[in-house]
Amino acid sequence: MTHFNITKTYKAIVIGGSAGSFQVISKILSSLPKDFDIPIMMCLHRLRHVRNGFVEALNIKSNIKIEEPYDKETIKRGKIYLAPANYHLCVELGNTFALSTEELINNSRPSIDMMLQTAAYAYRDKLVGILLSGANKDGALGMKKIHDRGGLTLVQDPKECLIDTMPSSAIKITEIDHVLSVNRIIDFLLELHKTCKIA
């Protein structure tokens, strides 16, 4: 197994996914150790008017409890957060979340672009962005923003995606640091975990 030679520490990880990403994200979540410490924020396209059920379904597989944050909740280490139905999840300066009912973006609320862009603004180069399978281009601009602010960008290998529009759109408009299979994304996260623990 080749290493990723991670030389920096990161403050947060943002993950975006849509059609075809549920299995992938479940697999990733089930592979993370209990003491995985870097906060993870996930924005997955979901039914706008179904408030319950989604986070519960993800929690079945996850070693770390996933929560849908409240407005102005403090972002904590060792936590995994999921954007709630019908709200945009944004990162505010000062390490808190802010929720918003602003207009749909790319026909989505929550929008991945919105989460990625606000996170990139707050965390600058201390952010890892991961974009998974999906059928629209939401997230591409967000990945560009992460790259422009010096953060690290990863996408699921389009060849492996159930629907590859999402990662492919990101690849088209910005530089992606790693194009990886799900297994390699997991390897990356485990290596990141080790690096950050030492640091």
Give the residues lining the site for other proteins (CB under 8 A): 49, 51, 68-73, 84, 87, 90-93, 98-103, 118, 121
Nearer to other proteins, 62 or 118 (CB): 118
In the residue annotation, 18 being an active-site residue is answered as yes
Nearer to other proteins, 20 or 69 (CB): 69
Q: How far is the CB of 166 from other proteins (least distance, A)?
A: 22
Q: How far is the CB of 6 from other proteins (least distance, A)?
A: 27
Residue 25 contacts by C-beta under 8 Å, 6 or more apart in sequence?
15, 17, 42, 44, 58, 132
Nearer to other proteins, 72 or 194 (CB): 72
Please identify which of the residues 45, 62, 108, 164 carries the catalytic annotation: 45
| First and final C-alpha spacing in the chain | 22
2-17 burial: b if 16+ Cβ within 10 Å, else e: eebebeeebbbbbbbb
97 touches 131 (CB < 8 A): no
Give the catalytic positions in this structure: 18, 45, 138
